[in-house]
Amino acid sequence: MERAKGTVLVVDDDAAVGMVLQAILAQAGLSAEHVESGERALSRLRERPFDLVVSDVRMPGIDGLSLLAQVAEKSPETPVILMTAHGSVPLAVEAMKAGAADFVLKPFDREEILFTVRKALAKAPAQETPPPSAKASWVSRSKGMEEVEAILRKAALGIATVLVRGESGTGKELAARSLHQMSPRRDGPFVKVHCAALPDTLLESELFGYEKGAFTGAASRKPGRVELAQGGTLFLDEIGDITPATQVKLLRLLQDREFELLGSSQSRKADVRFVAATHQPLEQRVREGTFREDLFYRLNVVPVWMPPLRERPEDIEPLAKHFCQEASQLHGGAGVTLDGAALARLRQEKWPGNVRQLQNFIERLVVLSDGQVVSESDVDRELRRSDLHEVGAGSGATAGASADASLDDHRRTAEKAALIEALNRARNNRTLAARLLGISRRTLYNKLEEHGLMG
């Protein structure tokens, strides 16, 4: 059996069940640890990162759903699988709406639980709930965003498929969630599928679900995301990255609004509002023959273009103020603000990473601020640091690399210097260091291990 990689935290107040699951995961090559309460799980997650949490639903104290909510808030990159002996589709829907990566019924089959765990690890990091700053992206003064909101409000009244397009970081998922909230389906589930994160076989089972015995490891019936989104909205993120084989199956779903579980010949109606998003140039991909023309037209019924931040500079100041207030509250409630010169300096930047880049940069300014007012010099200092780390240039970034070193040697030297500086500025708080670098905790730990900095 192929050995998997990953660290799993098992949470179950039944010690026997927890120990059995821990042993199953360990035999499959995973590093697993068992704790018997939600409180202890949160404590362990503060002490070290895990790639996945597998938790029972019914536990005294902090139950599985409460644990899911706290993990989503404090470590959104960590997927959570919920287990229960009292399973039902409504409970599965509730779990998925709350952000669970998957849902398993007890007693579980060995192959089933391994399949589910590997699937969650394959697509990690997963995030079904909106990030704490999601609403901030809609802070706007620009006509471009007013036009986007006007289109969404009109489209929300019906069920026509909406295709949200734009560069990474412009807020495509936020647009999809806003559409859902403005629609008559607002009380139904909002279910997201990250199409680019899964291979064909996993994406198909994720979308349509499967019957017991449909394949090795399918020990019981599992609802897919289409079924879980019934009465609500299904958000197909990064739709431009799906393969031709999956495009055929998705076309039938959109065209006939019917689907079949894997292993079943019975068609089911899809009472779902479809919203898709992509940064890919789909028209070009259609011309190249890598994206089906008929699928493109089915998706592009109501097109919504998210303008990049460089085309709406009037939004930079209100966004920066909002992110500053939010980051200030998140990191101790000190009431940090941006002075006028700092805001003017921020408006001069192009922000190629769009709103997401601006948000991360403002959070860094707040964390590293020595006082309650961020000045223009503070902004310039962090912009210089960003430039050095991005290109791997400058004496600090290249220290330790010889003049005839390869480009890869220079990159590794600059990367290690950036890691060390972030750890120093965060006083060795690795969660904060990851935030400063704009990466997940999992990525930070991998990089620290790669550069021999885990000690």
CATH value at residue 297: 3.40.50.300
Please report the sign of the dihedral spanned by the C-alpha atoms of residue 143, residue 147, residue 152, residue 153. Answer: positive
pLDDT band with cut points at 50, 70 and 90 for residue 394: very low
More confident residue, 112 or 26: 26
Q: What is the pLDDT of residue 409?
A: 64
- The predicted pLDDT at position 86 comes to 65
Same domain, 296 and 405: no
Whole-Å CA distances, 138 to 57, 124, 192:
34, 27, 20
| 18-60 residue pLDDT tens | 888 998 898 888 889 999 999 999 999 988 888 899 999 889 9
For the ranges 29-43, 142-156, 406-420, the lowest mean pLDDT is seen at: 406-420
Residues 270 and 327 grouped into a single domain: no
- What CATH number does the domain containing 22 carry? 3.40.50.2300
Q: Above pLDDT 90, what percent of the chain?
A: 36
**Both 144 and 266 in a single domain?**
yes
Are 272 and 356 in the same domain?
no
Q: What pLDDT does residue 277 have?
A: 96
Q: What is the mean pLDDT of the chain?
A: 82
Of 59-73, 292-306, 314-328, which one has max mean pLDDT? Answer: 292-306
Are 217 and 329 in a shared domain?
no
25 domain residue, yes or no: yes
Last residue of a domain, one of 282, 307, 332: 307
Residue 66 lies in a domain: yes
The confidence band for 130, taking pLDDT boundaries of 50, 70 and 90, is: very low
Asked if residue 264 is part of any domain, the answer here is yes
Query: Can you give the residue range of the structural domain that contains 21?
Result: 7-123
C-alpha to C-alpha distance for 268 and 277, rounded to whole angstroms: 25
CATH number at residue 434: 1.10.8.60
Indicate whether 72 and 152 sit together in one domain.
Answer: no
Confidence of residue 88 (pLDDT cuts 50, 70, 90): low
Task: Tell me if 128 is assigned to some domain.
Answer: no
Residues 353 and 432 in one domain: yes
**pLDDT value for 55:** 94
Do 208 and 230 lie in a common domain?
yes
Decide which of 80, 101, 123 is a domain's last residue: 123
Q: How far is CA 9 from each of CA 13, 170, 332, 438, rounded to the nearest angstrom?
A: 13, 34, 29, 25
Least confident of 131-145, 322-336, 393-407: 393-407
Instruction: Decide if pLDDT at 182 tops 50.
Output: yes
Shared domain for 240 and 296, answered yes or no, is yes
* Residues 188-205 pLDDT 10s: 888 888 887 777 777 888
Domain assignment present for 174: yes
**176 assigned to some structural domain:** yes
pTM for this model (two decimals): 0.61
What domain count does the chain have? 3
Claim to verify: residue 274 and residue 347 sit in the same structural domain: no
Q: Are 108 and 218 members of one domain?
A: no
What is the band of 304 on the pLDDT scale with cuts at 50, 70, 90? very high
- Distance (Å, whole) CA 297 – CA 277: 14
The answer to the question of residue 386 being in a domain is yes
Say yes or no to pLDDT of 451 above 60. Answer: yes
Picking from 123, 157, 176, the residue at the C-terminal end of a domain is 123
- Which has the higher per-residue pLDDT, 60 or 409? 60
- The C-alpha angle with vertex 316 and arms to 314 and 320, in degrees rounded to 5, equals 145
